[in-house]
Structure 1
């Protein structure tokens, strides 16, 4: 099952179904605007086997030019994706589903962008280092218990751990 109210934090144990749901989202995106996308990546905690996660599928869609991808905003908004501008440099961000039940986050970025490289490096590092992934899971669980109604604080407080992993991943 996927879906979570905006602003809340609730972790679910890893579910193999998340991979299938990611593939369904990618197929829908291809049906909507396949010619605009070069590639797709499953990112975030739902992409890491064994990792507890907020039950929201994170999809990274790669485009040739981010400036040209703005044409996709109205197309995606017609299909349950809410455009959320300006949160992170180098990406267009969308949340799918009503605010009471977010099911998918879509980030559109360019292949060589810092955003792309960091998301892939972080995911791959945790996949390749189960001990670090286990520590990350522990950090996430503790923070989810502490901040179930404050997603911003949850994200902020796990930031140091994330930056540490990213530093190692990007150097490797």
Structure 2
């Protein structure tokens, strides 16, 4: 099961199918835009085995330079992705796939050596290898989803202190 209405928060228990959905979409993206992309990674909670998650597959595509990201935009838009220019993360182009009533994939495009890319991968990898932190994050996500079911922005903002603390630990090798 994947898909969620824009702006809402609904968590599902981890599904192994999420990995397969990511792999299918990665192959599709490589076929349509592979010459512009260095790598495509499965990120976000759907990439962390056992983690409850919004049923939307998060992906990170890296490019060598901003011009490559800009060249991807029309290709992605022609292939079902909506560019979201109001994204508030510096150094990232953000795309959503699926109608607003049923978003299925999110794609972040950033430079390979960017802070966004590094932090996204470091957080994912830390959650995969630190079960106590992952359990704390899962509990926080459940609590916040119950508090903010129709307010994705508040849900995301409320996780920011925890995410920052994990990134600090991860970057310091703790």
TM range (shorter): over 0.9
- The C-alpha deviation readout for 1:11-60, integer Å capped at 9, x for no partner, is 00000000000001101101111111111111000000000000000111
Q: What is the rounded CA distance, in whole Å, between the counterparts of 2:74 and 2:60 in structure 1?
A: 18
**Secondary structure in structure 2 of the residue aligned to 1:163:** helix
When normalised by structure 2's length, the TM-score is 0.96
Corresponding position of 1:9? 9
When normalised by structure 1's length, the TM-score is 0.97
Q: What is the rounded CA distance, in whole Å, between the counterparts of 2:96 and 2:56 in structure 1?
A: 9
Gaps of 5+ in 2: none
1:66–1:91 contact (8 Å) kept in structure 2: no
Alignment of 1:27-38 (within 5 A): 27-38=27-38
1:66–1:108 contact (8 Å) kept in structure 2: no
List structure 1 segments (4+ residues) > 2 angstroms apart after TM superposition.
none
Supply the RMSD in Å over aligned alpha carbons: 0.8
Alignment of 1:1-172 (within 5 A): 1-85=1-85, 86-172=87-173
Q: What is the rounded CA distance, in whole Å, between the counterparts of 1:61 and 1:157 in structure 2?
A: 26
Gaps of 5+ in 1: none
**Secondary structure in structure 2 of the residue aligned to 1:71:** helix
Q: What is the rounded CA distance, in whole Å, between the counterparts of 2:69 and 2:136 in structure 1?
A: 37
2:36–2:68 contact (8 Å) kept in structure 1: no
State how many pairs are aligned: 172
